[in-house]
Structures are given as structure tokens and as C-alpha cells.
Amino acid sequence: MPQAALTKKGSDMSMTTGLQSNDLKNETAIDIIGMNKWYGDFHVLRDINLNVARGEKIVICGPSGSGKSTMIRCINRLEEHQKGRIIVDGIELTNDVKRVDEIRRDVGMVFQHFNLFPHLTILENCTLAPVWVRKMPKKQAEDVAMHYLTRVKIPEQALKYPGQLSGGQQQRVAIARALCMNPKIMLFDEPTSALDPEMVKEVLDTMVSLAEEGMTMLCVTHEMGFARQVADRVVFMDRGEIVEMNEPSAFFSAPQHERTKLFLSQILH
């Protein structure tokens, strides 16, 4: 199966592919099978099994140190797993740098601290990867960038530097920057945790609209309202393992595991 998917991959680079539509829903986007990870002797991720369908939106929550961020960072190899398999878009993650690069091209990531490049303008932040990784002509990359900057509602900031923008604006740029690579999957690692309270909504709104268009999304977040609104499944992690996983209505109204109940009672007042 990875073989067939590998051949399919290369041709998918054009901008016309667009976001996945519903008829692809049953196809697997990410398959994590028996994944384990250690930091030295510390077993941070224990036997993680998660299958994400195309177009599916997954919200991952759990107490700090539970391994949520580590897990999604394994998906684009910012962290290396030591046991088990991770198959992203039909490509299995190995030490092969080429495969890692292929996966990173198709998996966008948004970080807690934005990680915009402060020495480049907003527009340059957005065109950098399409030009250097996708080999897109500069003019076309700028058109694409302006398209997505308009979508996240900040086209007028294109020529400013990240340091001149508010946190919420920077995070929206980070989302636009990831979208410029036309990714098939988006990973969000606590995208609103570093924001001032009044800026959380503008970022969440952007994520909701992205979800409505059918993007495959994995979000580590504590925004339970967002989880209720867009998630197909909520994953609860604790101490490096997936403790409970369910659709949001059931997850919030009738949590099964004691640890889930405790966690929810603490964050939902």
C-alpha cells in the first residue's frame, strides 16, 4: 500500500488539488500503529494507536506533560518515534530524509509560539517555502500568499514584519503560511495558548472556517468550545497514552474513564 501511494504523491503538487472534498472521507490520512517513544529512560508515548480519515478533525486534549504535543510532532518528524509505525498520506515515516521531506511538504503545522521568521516580511514568510521547496515561480507564490492572507483577513499587513503584528495576527499569518504549501493535513500545537484572551477568537474563527472546508486537522488545544463545534473525535491523553477517544457530544456528556472525568471537571467549571 505505501508503494502505490508513493507513486501517487509526486503529481499532487499543483495548486489545483485544493482541499479534500467529502468523497475522500473514508481514505486514511494518518495511521499511527503501536507507536512508542522514549526520552532517555522516560517512556513519553506508550502504545499510541490512532487512525485519522481524510477530512477528519481530531482534537487532542489532556493535562500538561501528557504527550499530546510530542505525539503530533512525531507526525511530521519534529520528534522521532522509536517503536511502531506512522504512515502519513500513504508514506511510512522512516529515517529516510527524502520521505520525511515529502511528508513535511504535505503536512502544515501551526505552533504555540507562531515561529514566524522575524527577519522576513509577512509576504516573504508565506512565499518562502512554496518558492524554495515547491519551486513555484515567485509571482505565482505571491498570488497564492495574498490569496491565503486575504482568507485569514490580513492582506493589508503583507509588507510588515512579524514583530509589528499582534499575537492573533501573527498566528493567522502562521496559518496562512502553512496553507500556502497547499497541505493535505494540518497540525495545530496549542495555537491559542500563547495569545492574549481577546485574540483567541480570531484565530479560532480561522480554524473553524478551515475545518468547514474539509481540511484534515489534528489540534492540540484546551479550547473545548472549539472541540464541540468542529471535532469529529476528541482524544484524551494522560501520562503518554491515549486514555479515551470519542465523538465530542459523548466525550463531554458521558466520559467513561476516571482520569477523563477528573480532567474535564477541572477545566470545565
Residues that bind another protein (CB under 8 A): 76, 78, 101, 104-105, 107-109, 111, 113-119, 128-129, 132-133, 160-164, 177-178, 181
Report in angstroms how near the CB of residue 136 gets to another protein at its nearest: 13
Q: Which CB, 165 or 242, lies closer to another protein?
A: 165
Please provide the size of the chain in residues: 269
Q: Hunting for cell 485569514 — which residue is that? A: 152
The helix/strand/coil state of 177 is helix
Q: Which of 39/250 has CB closer to another protein?
A: 39
d(C-alpha 199, C-alpha 169), whole Å: 8
User: Min. distance of Cβ 117 from another protein in angstroms?
Assistant: 6
Residue 110 bridge partners (DSSP): 188
Q: How far is the CB of 170 from another protein (least distance, A)?
A: 10
State in angstroms the smallest separation of the CB of 125 from another protein: 9
Among residues 98 and 269, whose Cβ is nearest to another protein?
98
What contacts 118, CB < 8 A, 6 or more positions away? 161, 162, 163
Residue 97 or 268: the one with the smaller Cβ distance to another protein is 97
Sheet with 42-53: list strands edge to edge. 42-53, 28-39, 83-88, 91-92
